[in-house]
Structure formats: structure tokens, C-alpha cells
Amino acid sequence: SAAGRPRELLVWNETGPEREGWDALAERLGVPVQLCASDEWRGSAEGGAPPRGGQYSAAAAMAVAGLKGHRPPVDFLHSRLAPSRQLALRRKVAWGIGAAAVVLLAGALFVVDLIQTQRDVADLEARKAENAPSLAEASDLVAKAAFARAWHRRQPRLLECLRELTLTFPADGGIWTTSLSIQEDLRGVVAGKATGESMVLKVLDTLKANPRFCEVKPLYLREAGRGGREVAFAMSFRFIGTDGT
């Protein structure tokens, strides 16, 4: 044929198989199969026994095909009807090589990652040792701030009361306190001296005008000594703070 493939397969066999068997062979091979027989066989097929001379026709055909110097159309050593075991073996070898390559690659990546992790840990340890003094100072500062915050949370209203009471007195020194007592309910009594009654009354009015104080009352106002210009005073109050309680 033009493509180098046989156009048909000639079969020399004097056993006389059924025609259906050759048709099945032609379908599997994809090549038309033609059954050949000698004239002697055809003549005897009508009723007589086949002659002995035709039984060597198949062997003679194989010998003639071998003398031509090229591979016959039918290769009995490499039949297309049987699966190639060598191909399956090569596939297994290829899969094995691929699996081994994947394992080696995974191992290499693991080693590289382990080395990088060890380097990072060493770097962090060095930074920790370098920042140890600063860390100690920061920890001490945090401890002091936590202590101060806890103390401020326990008595914030008392500190606010002392601040507002201090701002009530003028800074020129004309009046000053000699004693101060504040109870848990923020009721208190302040006593002191002044250079004149006007200074005491001014502080009393300022304290009453402050919305953070209530129940402001004078307790006494008298001379501090004989012939002196100083006066002694005392006043009571209750601190309610910014929330009015």
C-alpha cells in the first residue's frame, strides 16, 4: 500500500477453520483476512480426504516471507493483540522515580525551613539579651503605674474633694487652715485662722457657690486672742462631686 501498511492478510492453513474465526481476526487486526488454500485442498474439500502435499503450504509461505529481507506484516514476536508488559514496567519505574523525587524535595525543603527557623530563634535570643536592661526598666515603670492607678481608684473622690477645698482658699495667705477632718461619706469640718472676718466670709461664700459642695455651714467665728487681729473659724460641708451624689 502507499502508506506502508498491508492491504490484506493472506492466511495459509489447511485445517479448514470456520469463516467466523477469520472474520473476528480481521476485525481485531483492522486488516482484511483472505483464506488461501491449494487447488488440491479445494478439490478434495467436496468429499475426499486432503492430499499430503498441501500441508506444507503455510511453512513455505513463511519461508518465502523471510527471504524478502523485511519484516512480515504479521509480527508474531510483537503482537498487537497482547498488552506490552515492558510499557507497564516502565510506567512503574517512572512513578517510583517521581515519588522518590518528591520525597527528596520535601526533605530538602524541611531541612531548609529548619535551618531558617533556628536562625530566627538565635536572632530573637540575641535581641532579647540586648533589650534586657530596657525591659527591666519598662517593667518597673509599669509596676509603679499599676500601683498608682490602684490607689487612685480606691479614693478618687477624696482626692477631688481635697483639690476643690484647696482651690477655695486664696493664695495670698490671709486665711489658712489648722485642722481638717473628712469622714467616709465625705462630710467634713475645716478649721483655721484668718487676718479678718471678711476673709472667712469670702471663703464661706466661695464654698457655698461651688456646686461640688453642699450643706456648707459656719460653726463658729471668733477672735483668736485678746487684742489680736486674727480670728478663728470652723465650717462644715459635704462633698458631692461632679455626679451630685
Q: Is the domain of 44 the same as that of 14? A: yes
200: number of Cβ within 10 Å: 22
User: What would the pLDDT profile of 154-181 be if each residue is shown by its tens digit?
Assistant: 557 888 888 899 999 988 878 999 999 9
Domain range for 20? 9-82
Q: Is the domain of 63 the same as that of 87? A: no
Q: Is the domain of 176 the same as that of 101? A: no
Amino acid, single-letter form, for residue 65: A
Amino acid, single-letter form, for residue 184: E
Q: Which of 154, 187, 206 is the last residue of a domain?
A: 154
User: What would the pLDDT profile of 195-242 be if each residue is shown by its tens digit?
Assistant: 889 999 999 999 999 999 999 999 999 888 766 788 999 999 999 887
CATH number for the domain including 182? 3.30.1360.100
Q: Which of 154, 175, 196 is the last residue of a domain?
A: 154
Q: Which of 63, 82, 101 is the last residue of a domain?
A: 82
Q: Is the domain of 136 the same as that of 209? A: no
Q: Is the domain of 88 the same as that of 74? A: no
Using CA atoms, how far apart are residues 239 and 187, in angstroms rounded to an integer?
6
Q: Is residue 106 part of a domain?
A: yes
Domain count, the chain: 3
Indicate the pairing of strand 187-194 with strand 231-239. Answer: antiparallel
Q: Is the domain of 76 the same as that of 99? A: no
Mean per-residue pLDDT of the chain: 78
Q: Is residue 208 part of a domain?
A: yes
- For 178, the grid coordinates are 489648722
Q: Is the domain of 175 the same as that of 195? A: yes
